[in-house]
Structure 1
Amino acid sequence: MPQLCFEELSQWSHSLERLLTSKCMLIFYKAFLKSEYSDENIEFWLICEEYKKIKCSYMMSTRARKIFKRYIQAEAPKERDNTKKYRRAHRFGLMEKDSYPRFLKSNAYRALFDAT
């Protein structure tokens, strides 16, 4: 893992969007969410971000069905109790207001500062 400087670590505390643009910090954040049993939020958000990049309508349709089966339909493996309410923006909002602030206060995030 590359050495991170204090300035880099600090910039990710300004917004979830900034944090998600860093592949390195995304790894830490995903690990944090997994430790809190809420990693399906970031998984869903990331898969939707990838979906937005698809240009082929056949691939879009195929991927949409996979996303639906895994995250949205009743009894889906990654379904939450209130999955029907979730949309990409809603999941981002959940992370931004809930798990992201906890991540910034976590020992895992603070340990990154100690390592710089």
Structure 2
Amino acid sequence: MCRGLESLPTLCLEWAKELRAHFGNIRHKQELCHFHRTSKQMMASDEPLKWRESFQDLLSNKHGLCAFSAFLVSEYSAENMAFYLACEDYINTKSSSKLPAKARKIYDEFIGSEAPREVNLDHETKNVTKKNLEHPTHSCFDLARSKIYSLMEKDCYPRFLKSAAYKDLSRQLAG
């Protein structure tokens, strides 16, 4: 399901949402079972063990990113990864003329008061980010992005490493 790195975020999030819709609200292990089967042939047996080394190692690995994204969907916090990846895309935007529209779209989707996928940010961070939109630069989401990254690293990542899905995947690939 998770093919090319360039389309990985969208594919993984869509796939994880489909899994949740298909299986309903079931345990993490069951939601990630398809990922286990299809990825077993594609990844090295020690790959999931490397994801333990750091959160950045997990995110920089396409299978790790896919597994973690699916986990976040199962935890009902997929908006955090979607926001982080949208910011990464924004930072990598070559044309500065595209920044204002992209910035507005990210703000409206994840930060604004009526945001459909609102991320959990404090009032001050939201205000700083809103002010940054007046003159969008590649760094206008840096504060919000770092807060969400930190939230995932300190909260979601440890839960992922303790999850039955991660443990099963590590065990299956090692054995």
TM-score by length of 2: 0.62
Distance 1:63 1:30 in 2: 22
Distance 1:51 1:113 in 2: 33
**What's the CA shift for 1:25?**
1.2
CA offsets, 1:18-43, max 9 Å, x none? Answer: 10001111111011011111111111
The equivalent of 1:90 in structure 2 is: 147
Higher alpha-carbon Rg: 2
- Out of 101, 106, 109, which is 2:158 matched to? 101
Distance 1:57 1:80 in 2: 25
- The runs of at least 4 consecutive aligned structure 1 residues that moved more than 6 Å come to none
The equivalent of 2:83 in structure 1 is: 44
Distance 1:25 1:8 in 2: 8
Distance 2:66 2:52 in 1: 15
Which shifted more, 83-92 or 70-79?
Answer: 83-92
CA offsets, 1:17-70, max 9 Å, x none? Answer: 010001111111011011111111111111101111112112111110110110
- Out of 85, 92, 99, which is 1:53 matched to? 92
Distance 1:74 1:4 in 2: 43
Equivalences for residues 67-86 of structure 1 within 5 A: 67-80=106-119, 82=121, 84=123, 85=125
The equivalent of 1:113 in structure 2 is: 170
- Out of 44, 47, 65, which is 1:4 matched to? 44
Aligned pairs, how many?
115
1:14 lines up with 2:53 in the alignment:
yes
Instruction: Judge conservation of contact 2:68–2:160 (CA < 8 Å) in 1.
Output: yes
The equivalent of 2:139 in structure 1 is: none
**What's the CA shift for 1:81?**
5.7
**What's the CA shift for 1:79?**
1.4
Greater length-normalized contact order (CA 8 Å, ≥ 6 residues apart)? 1
Cα RMSD between the aligned structures? 1.5
**What's the CA shift for 1:82?**
4.1
Distance change in 2, residues 1:77/1:83 (3 Å): farther
Distance 1:80 1:67 in 2: 11
Instruction: Judge conservation of contact 2:83–2:119 (CA < 8 Å) in 1.
Output: no
TM-score by length of 1: 0.91
Instruction: Judge conservation of contact 2:80–2:119 (CA < 8 Å) in 1.
Output: no
Distance 1:56 1:3 in 2: 35
